Amino acid sequence: MQQLATQTNYNLRDEIKAYWSARAETFDSQPGHEIFSEDERAAWHALIARHLGAGEGRKALDLASGTGVVSHLLDDLGFSVTGMDWAEPMLERAREKAKARGRSIRFFMGDAENTLEPDAVYDVITNRHLVWTLVDPKTAFLEWYRVLKPGGRLLIVDGDFVNPSLVSRIANRLASLAQSFGIGAKRPHHGPAANLTDTHRSILSRVYFSKGARAEAVMALLKEAGFSSVTVDTNMRAIHKAQKKNFGFLKGLERATQHRYAICAVK
């Protein structure tokens, strides 16, 4: 991938696309990406319903849909779902999953910053862990505003994955010290595959939110794009409680103390 990045006209957006294509193989095996319990599924349903209401056949566009995790949650709630992603390996897995579960979710390749979808066609737009990767979030937010119907809602689930909390820094330091003295098992790796870690860090250092996607900064850009009634929901406790059963203690503590949020905005 580093070799690809040196090719002529191979820019940051291409590198991001290649990175997520490479991540597809192991994406669903990682807690925090796929859902591993009915408790977690119920917690996600509650979060989505809290901001978007019941589906009732309304049209939903799930951007950066990946392997279709959020798309399936929306489908569970009765939305008519279209999942869009620009990594074909992710889409292949999403389609296989929908087929296996007997779901009629439409998945297709597209760019979240330039969807090429018609004006005012969707009732809701969702995305999870997309905003931190955006090269030009203002352009993306204007695009999302365009394809939403008047009164349509946008739900962003994201976080600041750059600046760890004090609790997280202390926990990680204690874990490193313990391991240096041979105490405890090596911490399990739940993040990017080892050979992609450097690529992940490189991308993170060059995207728009390289200093961290703080909720207040995302809100400001949404308002500039024309959205109103922009609200931040940091009550992710039920989701984190369900997820921590699949994490070690320190990883669960890190996740629970990160700046994670859901932002809902209205056209």
φ and ψ at residue 110, rounded to 5 degrees: -170, 170
Tens-place pLDDT, residues 232-248: 999 999 999 898 888 77
The encoded tokens of residue 147 equal: 């394809």
Tokens 């390289």 — which residue? 210
What's the pLDDT tens digit per position in 182-207? 655 444 444 445 568 888 888 888 99
- Spatial separation of the C-alpha atoms in residues 193 and 10, rounded to whole Å: 22
- pLDDT above 90 (res 87): yes
- Residue identified by tokens 């349903």 is 45
Structure confidence at residue 31 (pLDDT): 83
What is the rounded distance in angstroms from the CA atom of residue 137 to the CA atom of residue 130? 10
Which of the two residues, 169 and 55, has the higher pLDDT score? 55
161: containing domain: 4-266
Calculate mean pLDDT across residues 109-113.
95
CA distance 248 to 17: 30
Residue 110's CATH number: 3.40.50.150
Number of domains in the chain: 1
pLDDT value at residue 133:
93
Residue 71 has pLDDT above 80, yes or no: yes
Read off the DSSP letter of residue 36.
-
pLDDT for the residue numbered 185: 46
Share of the chain above pLDDT 90, in %: 64
Q: How many CB atoms lie within 10 A of CB 102?
A: 6
- Amino acid, single-letter form, for residue 126: T
How confident is the model at residue 189, as a pLDDT? 43
